[in-house]
Amino acid sequence: MYLKKGIISGTVAGLVLFFLDQIIDVVMGVTGAPLVPYYNVSSVLSGYSDAQGLILQSVILAIFLGILMGVTFSIFYSSIPKGGWMKGLIYGFLFYLISDVPSIFRLNLFMPFPEGVMAHFLIKGLIEFLIVGIVLSKVYENTK
């Protein structure tokens, strides 16, 4: 029962994560341009000839991450303090600290980025996981 709720809410959260990621990239791409003068997304994607394949891979990865979040949320649901959307906010923040922050710093070890790019990744991840955590908790609580 709880696993089913986790998978359903995680799938919705994954889709929200994908669309949120696209929106934040556009907004931060405009507002964060002075912070990241050496970060050029088009140069990163220039070797990628199949844009539709990239989008499909991004959607699949976001849904997989959402399901992972949903299933772990259902496992640790009773251990997370507060209730309602605050439970999701706390979970989103903890998931961000455990998964996103170490990944960004590990990536930086192999591909050093300017500080502005690191700040961009950290801020973007925080915003995404806080919002996705809230969506996850609301969908989880409303799933029968």
Domain residue ranges of the chain, discontinuous segments joined by +: 2-41+56-142
CA distance 50 to 79: 43
Instruction: Name the residue type at position 77.
Output: Y
pLDDT in the model for residue 30 = 52
- Burial letters for 121-134: b for 16+ Cβ neighbours within 10 Å, e otherwise? beebbbbbbbbbbb
**CB count in 10 Å sphere of residue 81:** 8
Q: Are residues 104 and 129 in contact, defined by beta-carbon separation less than 8 angstroms? A: no
Instruction: Provide the pLDDT for residue 76.
Output: 93
Tokens of 39: 């970060």
What is the reported pTM? 0.82
pLDDT tens-digit readout, 87-105:
999 999 999 999 999 998 8
In the numeric block, the tokens 């961009």 are attached to 120
Res. 31: pLDDT tops 90: no
Q: How far is residue 114's CA from residue 40's CA, in Å, rounded to a whole number?
A: 12
